Chain A
Amino acid sequence: MPLSLRSFGTVEEASAALKAPNARYLGGGTLVVRAANEGDLTFDTFVRATDARLRNIEITGSTVTLGASVTMAQIVKHPALAFLAPAARAVGGPAIRNMASVGGNLFAPAPYGDFAVALLALGARVDVGGKTVDIDRFLATRDESRDVVSAVHFELPKEGAFRFAKVSRVKPKGVAVLSIGALIEQDGAGAVKAARIALGCMADRPMRAKAAEKALIGSMLTEDGIAGAAATVGEGTEPITDPVASAWYRAEVLPVHLRRLLLK
């Protein structure tokens, strides 16, 4: 089927063009061009916005703004985002990272979406359709979204507060068995004051482990302190099954990897 590409200078124009049922936004193209190559007939028009601001990484005070077209490679290289580099580096191989965008990762179905897991743990806010919404809400409603995502924002975490792990069978590049992001705030004595834990491959898209978050409050990050979180981290999960791992396997190893991440 003939395909075409429509480029627009502004996000607003691209958003308007995206309302057509046969249109799909083109980010880095690693998923959407692949879909076209595989004969996906649900769209025949790629739409993109060329506004250069979409490629900007801005840090104002403690707030980070990543334009939707920022690539994983840009994040890996950014000196102030070293804490996020492991999550960006988790996406594909070197060529994929030069193409894969932040915006596209927010839409990537499991087993993809490793970077979105990190953003969910960070409690990012997403600029979409002229509004700013919590990433939790964005992920829950993304299938219905027909707007362009223009940027994400989050606060720089305190030193050591953010942790990320992607578990895969093939190193250095492999599809995730699962991925976990955690943002943990501790008091002076080391007891957990607040926690956000995000999981990848535990549903069709990144999800929070809310029971485990709750179980961590007031606890120390010790084998005993995290036992409650490890015991409840699977609550509400519906892991995917794919050639890499079965849902059963993913559920079995999830507490093990959460424990390793929290004791790191």
Chain B
Amino acid sequence: MAKKVPLQITLNGEERAEFVESGSTLLTALRDRFDDTSPKGGCNQGTCGACTVIIDGELRLACLTLAEMCDGASVQTTSGMAKGGVLHPLQRAFMEGFAAQCGFCTPGMIMAAKALLDRVPNPSRDEVIEALAGNICRCTGYEPIINAVLEAARANSHNAA
């Protein structure tokens, strides 16, 4: 049996604590211990981006991050984005722009896009492409996703104005 270690994180703004297996990944911890299944396990190799989360403001792959390294960290996932039943502009733009088909890549795409918009509120198309370069989508052909991110940026700047 693997040793259990305590893990305390702020998950989408909420203080949470669980015991996790030493040496297990954050992806396993989030899905199996914290009941947040928004990050997906696509490859467990770092190649697909479906497990992408934001840790202390930085984009990371949960499948390659050991859970216990995150003790005390703030972790953001797509399940924390809707507030009071209202979708985040990125979620709305993905929905309205048909940027999700099977939806498996969507939580990772949204995290990668959020990390970009947090830093660059009005990105160029090339900046969006660069920001999503670590995320694979087998369904959409990427165009609707890129457009949705640009649309969410536009919606954000309207709201801000």
A: residues with CB less than 8 A from B are 2-5, 26, 28-30, 33-34, 36-38, 44, 46, 73, 92-96, 98-99, 172-173
Contact = CB atoms under 8 A, between A and B. Distances in A.
A73 to B, nearest CB: 8
Nearest to A28: B64
Interface string B23-58: 111000000000000000000111001001000001
Contacts of B58: 73, 98
Contact of B134 (A26, A28, A38, A94): A94
Contacts of B161: none
Given A4-B23, A29-B64, A94-B133, 15 more contacts: A2-B2, A2-B3, A3-B2, A3-B22, A5-B22, A33-B65, A34-B45, A34-B64, A37-B45, A73-B58, A92-B46, A93-B134, A96-B46, A172-B129, A173-B134
Given A2-B1, A3-B23, A94 B66 contact: no
Given A4-B22, A92-B134, A30 B46 contact: yes
Given A34-B46, A37-B44, A93-B49, A98 B59 contact: yes
Interface residues of B, number: 32
A98 B44 CA distance: 17
A14 to B, nearest CB: 14
Contact of A37 (B25, B59, B116, B131): B25
B22 A37 contact: no
B3 A4 contact: yes
Given A34-B64, A172-B129, A5 B23 contact: yes
Which label, helix, strand, loop or mixed, suits the secondary structure of the B interface?
mixed
Contacts of B22: 2-5
Nearest to B59: A95
A95 B134 contact: yes
Contact of B66 (A2, A46, A93, A96): A46
A5 B66 CA distance: 9
Nearest to A73: B58
A172 B116 CA distance: 16
A98 B119 CA distance: 14
A98 B53 CA distance: 12
The 6 tightest CB contacts between A and B, nearest first, are A93-B134, A3-B23, A2-B2, A173-B133, A37-B44, A4-B22
A99 B134 contact: no
B66 A99 contact: no
Nearest to A33: B64
Q: Which of A93, A95, A99, A172 has the most CB of B within 10 A?
A: A95
Contacts of B45: 34, 37-38
Given A4-B2, A37-B44, A38-B45, A99 B23 contact: no
Interface string B97-140: 00000000000000010011000000000000111011100000
Contact of B65 (A99, A172, A173): A99
Nearest to A98: B58
Nearest to B1: A2
Contacts of B135: 93
Contact of A94 (B21, B25, B68, B115): B115
